């Protein structure tokens, strides 16, 4: 048998496959993302005792703002979205520059690795400072940059942000784990001309389009007042959508006919329940209706500043379950297995969780409660492997120095919050 230079053997482990079926025994994890049972005689990079490990696909965060670790946790708690943006986020972002952005992303990347997450679909300023940090950390990502300098910059129409983004799009490497996309922030911050400019750029470079849509009742009402259409109807009318390229964050205040439009354009919708509740957006995505329409729904944390729990995708999946069951008065509205599928969809990487963590016990008489325990209780991520490389192993992050990142982050925050806190 030819040796897979990144292949690893786990012995006496528990593995959950892509269909959420549970397997027990010895496994080969391939660097390309595949797996098979081990016969014991394969050439591998190393063999790991897996008696205390639950092996799953790594988590995938489909909407976030990584650099907002600078604003993280309880920043400006108690404010509604518009007030939160105008009084807290935009003022601090006036102090943002590429170096400051990179510091925030380092902290975010370290948290992703610690939490078993290997991919982020990011939208933020200075994508040229974000992508290299993810690459160096060994993570995957789609980094979408703005086409205008919406706040913090006052020179929104200089075209400088678009030029920087175009340079990234035109020079990205096909085989890189990190790619770039276009961010049209929202219908309430972008004119029709700006939205279509973003579409044009995405079409030119065959790149994804990332947008916040129908996040609050106010946004939806103002869009209807201005255009006589709701946000997704408006985006459809101006021909914004590119088939299978648009990622719509939030999608909370959406009518069924709009869901059908999203399906028509093969747009992905990202459910961010913690952020929607923390900012009291007044509505949460109706997964049942989206499923009926056949829309591909993923899960995202949003930025750490708005969701209250950082970049913990297990917590976000748990919150999605609780929200869907509560809002629909249906205790079976979203199962733990289905939530985990949503939170790991398209992952080609592996995470190993500590079965000796008390939160993972008991496993039940049938020894099959692993995913429910993981989603509802959480667990320590022991290993995170991307393309055969361990970013985290035996409970220690290997691709980044957490202690130095913490020091750098706290030093940066003293400058970043100047004039705001």
Q: Could you state, in order of their start, the residue ranges of all structural domains in the chain?
A: 8-57+349-402, 59-344
Q: Does the pLDDT at position 117 exceed 50?
A: yes
Enumerate the β-bridge partners of residue 390. Answer: 385
What secondary structure letter does DSSP report for 389? E
**90-102 pLDDT, tens per residue?**
778 888 899 999 9
Enumerate the β-bridge partners of residue 48. Answer: 10
Give the pLDDT confidence score for residue 74 in this predicted structure: 61
Architecture of domain 59-344: Alpha-Beta Barrel (3.20)
Residue 90 is encoded by which pair of tokens?
């935009």
CATH superfamily of 8-57+349-402: Urease, subunit C, domain 1 (2.30.40.10)
Widest distance between CA atoms in the chain: 68
> Do 129 and 66 form a contact (C-beta atoms < 8 A)?
no
Average pLDDT estimate for 278-285: 79
Give the pLDDT confidence score for residue 174 in this predicted structure: 84
Enumerate the β-bridge partners of residue 180. Answer: 143
> Do 243 and 231 form a contact (C-beta atoms < 8 A)?
no
| Pairing of β 389-393 and β 396-397 | antiparallel
Give the pLDDT confidence score for residue 88 in this predicted structure: 76
Query: How confident is residue 400, by pLDDT bands cut at 50, 70 and 90?
Result: very high
Side by side, which strands form the sheet with 140-146?
Answer: 59-64, 117-123, 140-146, 178-183, 209-213, 246-250, 268-271, 296-299
Give the pLDDT confidence score for residue 152 in this predicted structure: 47
Average pLDDT estimate for 113-139: 97
d(CA 161, CA 73): 28
Strand (E) positions, 30-83? 35-37, 46-49, 53-57, 59-64
Q: What is the mean pLDDT of the chain?
A: 91
Give the pLDDT confidence score for residue 252 in this predicted structure: 95
Q: Does the pLDDT at position 399 exceed 80?
A: yes
Q: Does the pLDDT at position 420 exceed 70?
A: no
Enumerate the β-bridge partners of residue 140. Answer: 119
d(CA 344, CA 384): 13
Q: What is the DSSP string of 268-319?
A: EEEE-HHHHHHTT-S----HHHHHHHT-EEEE----HHHHSSTT-HHHHHHH
Q: Does the pLDDT at position 382 exceed 70?
A: yes
């Amino acid at each position: 048998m030819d040796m897979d230079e990144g292949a690893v053997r786990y012995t006496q482990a528990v593995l959950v496959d892509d269909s959420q079926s549970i397997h027990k025994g010895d496994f080969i994890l391939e660097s390309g993302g595949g797996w098979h049972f081990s016969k014991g005689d394969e050439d591998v990079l190393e063999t790991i005792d897996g008696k205390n490990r639950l092996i799953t696909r790594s988590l995938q965060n489909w909407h976030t703002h990584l650099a907002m670790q600078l604003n993280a946790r309880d920043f400006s708690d108690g404010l509604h979205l518009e007030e939160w943006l105008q009084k807290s986020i935009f003022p601090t972002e006036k102090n943002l520059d590429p170096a400051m952005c990179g510091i925030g992303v380092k902290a975010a990347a370290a948290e992703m690795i610690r939490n078993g997450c290997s991919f982020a679909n990011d939208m933020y300023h200075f994508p040229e400072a974000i992508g290299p940090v993810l690459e160096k950390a060994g993570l995957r990502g789609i980094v979408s940059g703005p086409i205008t300098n919406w706040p913090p910059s006052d020179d929104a129409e200089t075209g400088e942000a678009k030029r920087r983004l175009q340079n990234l799009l035109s020079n990205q490497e096909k085989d890189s784990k990190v790619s770039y996309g276009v961010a049209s922030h929202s219908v309430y911050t972008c004119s029709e001309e700006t939205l279509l400019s973003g579409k044009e750029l995405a079409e030119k470079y065959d790149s994804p389009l990332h947008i916040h849509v129908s996040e609050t009742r106010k946004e939806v009402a103002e869009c209807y007042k201005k255009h006589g259409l709701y946000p997704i109807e408006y985006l459809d009318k101006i021909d914004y959508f590119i088939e299978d390229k648009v990622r719509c964050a939030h999608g909370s205040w959406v009518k069924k006919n709009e869901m059908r439009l999203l399906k028509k354009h093969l747009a992905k919708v990202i459910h961010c329940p913690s952020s929607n509740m923390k900012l009291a957006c007044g509505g949460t995505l109706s997964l049942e209706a989206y499923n009926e329409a056949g829309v591909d729904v993923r899960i995202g944390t949003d930025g750490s500043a708005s969701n209250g729990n950082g970049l913990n995708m297990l917590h976000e999946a748990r919150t999605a379950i609780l929200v869907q069951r509560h809002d629909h008065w249906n205790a079976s509205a979203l199962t733990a297995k289905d939530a985990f599928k949503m939170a790991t969809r398209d992952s080609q990487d592996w995470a190993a969780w500590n079965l000796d963590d008390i939160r993972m016990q008991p496993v039940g008489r049938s020894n099959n409660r692993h995913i429910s325990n993981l989603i509802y209780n959480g667990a320590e991520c022991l290993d995170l492997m991307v393309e055969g490389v361990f970013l985290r192993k035996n409970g220690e992050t290997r691709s980044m120095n957490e202690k130095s990142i913490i020091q750098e982050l706290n030093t940066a925050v003293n400058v970043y919050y100047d004039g705001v806190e």
